[in-house]
Chains A and B, each alone.
Chain A
Amino acid sequence: MSCARMEGKILGYVDGRLKESERLEVEKHLGSCAACRLRANEFRAVSGLLDELPVIEPSAAFDLRVHARVAAEPVKQSWWAWFAPSPRVAFAASMLLLATVWLGLRPPDSSLSATDIDKINQDMPVLENYDVISDFAPLTELPPPLQADESTQQNQQM
Chain B
Amino acid sequence: MARSDVQLMLDVKAGDEQSFALLLHRYRSPLVNFLYRMVRNREQAEDLAQEVFLRVYRAREDYVPSAKFTTWLFRIATNLALNSVRDNRYQRMEISLDAPVTADAEDGGEKTMDVAEKHPNIEQHLIEKARSKMIRHAIEKLPEKQRAAVLLHKYQELDYGEISKILQCSESALKSLLFRAYETLRVELAPLVAQQLKQ
| Partner among B153, B172, B176, B193 whose Cβ is within 8 Å of the Cβ of A45 | B193
**Contacting residues of chain A (43-63) with chain B, CB-CB under 8 angstroms:** 43, 45-50, 52-60, 62-63
- Given known contacts A7-B179, A46-B185, A70 and B20 CB-to-CB distance under 8 angstroms: yes
Asked if A69 is at the interface (CB within 8 A of a chain B CB), the reply is: yes
User: Which residues 154-181 in B have Cβ within 8 Å of A in the complex?
Assistant: 154-155, 159-160, 172, 175-176, 178-179
Given A8-B179, A42-B186, A73-B57, A63 contacting B37 (CB threshold 8 A): no
> What 0/1 pattern do residues 66 to 101 of A give for CB contact below 8 A with B?
110110010010000000000000000000000000
B196 touches A45 (CB 8 A): yes
One digit per residue, 1 when the CB lies within 8 angstroms of any chain A CB and 0 when it does not, for chain B 13-48 equals 000000011001100110011001100001000100
Number of A-B residue pairs having CB atoms within 8 Å of each other in the complex:
115
Contact of A11 among B33, B179, B196 (CB under 8 A): B179
Residues on the A chain within 8 Å of B25, using CB: 63
Q: Would A50 and B159 be within 8 Å (CB), given that A41-B197, A69-B54 are in contact?
A: no
Output the nearest chain B residue to A14 by Cβ-Cβ distance: B182
Stretch among B1-9, B64-72, B76-84, B106-114 lining the A interface: B106-114
Residue-by-residue, is A5-45 near B (CB-CB < 8 Å gives 1, otherwise 0)? 00110111001010000000000000000000001011101
Q: Is the CB of A57 within 8 A of B189?
A: no
Known: A8-B179, A11-B182, A53-B135. A59 touches B108 (CB 8 A): yes
CA A45 to CA B168, docked complex, whole Å = 29
Q: In the complex the two chains form, is A48's CB within 8 Å of B57's CB? A: no
Q: Which residues of B have CB within 8 Å of A76? A: 61
B152 at the interface (CB under 8 A from A): no
Could you say which residues of chain B place their CB within 8 Å of the CB of A65? 46, 50
Q: How large is the interface on A (under 10, 10 to 19, 20 to 34, 35 or more residues)?
A: 35 or more
Asked whether any CB of chain A lies closer than 8 Å to the CB of B148, the reply is no
Chain A interfacial positions (CB closer than 8 Å to B): 7-8, 10-12, 15, 17, 39, 41-43, 45-50, 52-60, 62-63, 65-67, 69-70, 73, 76
Given contacts A49-B192, A58-B49, 8 further A-B contacts (CB under 8 A): A45-B196, A45-B197, A49-B196, A50-B139, A50-B150, A50-B155, A55-B110, A60-B107
Q: Which B positions have Cβ atoms within 8 angstroms of A?
A: 20-21, 24-25, 28-29, 32-33, 36-37, 42, 46, 49-50, 53-54, 57-58, 61, 104-105, 107-112, 131-132, 135-136, 139, 150, 153-155, 159-160, 172, 175-176, 178-179, 182, 185-186, 189, 192-193, 196-197
15 interchain pairs, CB-CB under 8 A: A11-B153, A11-B178, A46-B186, A46-B193, A49-B185, A49-B196, A50-B139, A54-B112, A56-B109, A58-B32, A66-B53, A69-B50, A69-B54, A70-B20, A76-B61
